Amino acid sequence: MAGPRTASLVELECRGVTGPVRMLRRRKGRSPRESLAEKRRRARKILRRLAAAYPDAKTALNFSSPLELLVATILSAQCTDTRVNQVTPALFRKYRTAADYARAAPGVLERDIRSTGFFNAKAKSLRRAGAAIATEHGGRVPDTMEALLALPGVGRKTANVVLGNAFGKDEGFVVDTHVGRLARRMGLSRETDPEKVERDLNELVPRGQRAMAAHRFIFHGRQVCHARRPLCEKCPVLPLCPRVGVA
């Protein structure tokens, strides 16, 4: 004779039994299976709670033009936004146009951005991107995903940052280390590749909400959902989070 059937996560949630749900989630260490429609509904609830928790979320990089934001975003790779913001005021006064970066003397631009790390590679990207913008786009940073991705040193993350924050175009989802970690931990994606994570998030978050959603994920990752010791007891989305990978 078969023993009593164990209730599923969905059944437990429908009954309002949250304690056992959390225990089961922690034990299995993975997110419950959901249909795409169910995941979209949960994602909407998560984003509403994050919106209430971080109403003033925005990019931490300081800029006053699309070119400045593009440069700052390139410099932010493997570097904190705080450090980038310390470097860019003098940099932006010295290099005012894309052509200025393109014709920067060897060693000079590298010295100007040295403290951001990986300065040789970043200087090469800035020179080449500056030359492309100056010669192919009349000195203006392009405002389409295709044209931005064609610039040397520009990937989807940088392109999404520029489009969403400098041009107000909500094309895709910015996926940095915080966003990738939260997407997996909240069971919104199982991927580790940023472009695949973005694909999953774009399926869940409609265009027009992605730029702001990314800002709120980043704020939440910095303040609460830390990589090693997330502050789950302070988390506004805990009831909606399967805590994938959290011991």
Please answer whether residues 94 and 100 qualify as being in contact, where contact means their C-beta atoms are separated by less than 8 angstroms.
yes
SS (H, E, C) 149-165: HCCCCCCHHHHHHHHHH
Exposure string of 231-246, with b = 16+ CB inside 10 Å and e = fewer, is eeeebbbbebbbbbee
- 10 Å CB burial of residue 154 (0-12, 13-18, 19+) is buried
Would residue 56 show up in a list of annotated catalytic residues for this protein? Answer: no
**How far is the C-alpha of 89 from the C-alpha of 84, rounded, in Å?**
9
- Catalytic, out of 81, 124, 176, 196: 176
Q: Is 45 a catalytic residue?
A: no
The catalytically annotated residue of 39, 112, 122, 157 is: 157
Active site residues: 157, 176
